[in-house]
Amino acid sequence: MVSNFIKSIIIGLPIGVTFLDLIGYVARVDGISMQPVLNPDKSQTDYVFLNRWAVRSLDIKRGEIISLISPKDPDQTIIKRVVGIPGDIISTIGYKREVVRIPEGHCWVEGDHTGHSVDSNHFGPVSLGLITAKASCIVWPPSRWQYIRSFLPESRVPLNVISQVMASV
């Protein structure tokens, strides 16, 4: 009986670690920076599935909610929405420059709750290498079970995308 338990641990542990490292894991979302999409009610905390597999090629898209290592504190992981991708021209909100072109290998991230988020408007473009996962769905509480929809608020569409749309009209 003990040997079966030890065999289960010897086999199960590497499989579990591999799953968490390659596929994803569930994480608690703290704070109000992503309201109303995440943690819309102060009395409840959302738990999300963070999909590591979805970002393995670093092919991220505008509107996706990602988890990343904070550029300000490498011991902290933050969750934000991708507003700009390499080459985009972003109109910032309180950054040191009013307009920023996102360099290759970087993205611009913001919290949905404008003014209540420490994001690219504080620390600038973020290296794609800091991205750890994409938030795929809310898994807890049960009343909030849902896939997380990727969208970009109209007010945050990059200036070069607006120009392209206007030129095609």
Of the CA atoms within 13 Å of residue 59, those in its CB half-sphere come to: 3
7 is catalytic: no
Q: Exactly one of 7, 43, 80, 96 is catalytic; which is it?
A: 80
Determine contact, residues 60/85, Cβ cutoff 8 Å: yes
CB atoms within 10 A of CB 75: 6
Calpha distance 153→128 (Å, rounded):
22
Calpha distance 77→69 (Å, rounded):
5
Calpha distance 60→45 (Å, rounded):
26
Determine contact, residues 67/77, Cβ cutoff 8 Å: yes
Q: Exactly one of 33, 67, 117, 120 is catalytic; which is it?
A: 33
Mapped onto helix, strand or coil, the DSSP state of residue 121 is helix
33 is catalytic: yes
Phi, psi of 65 (to 5 degrees): -100, 125
Calpha distance 3→168 (Å, rounded):
69
The residues annotated as belonging to the active site are: 33, 80
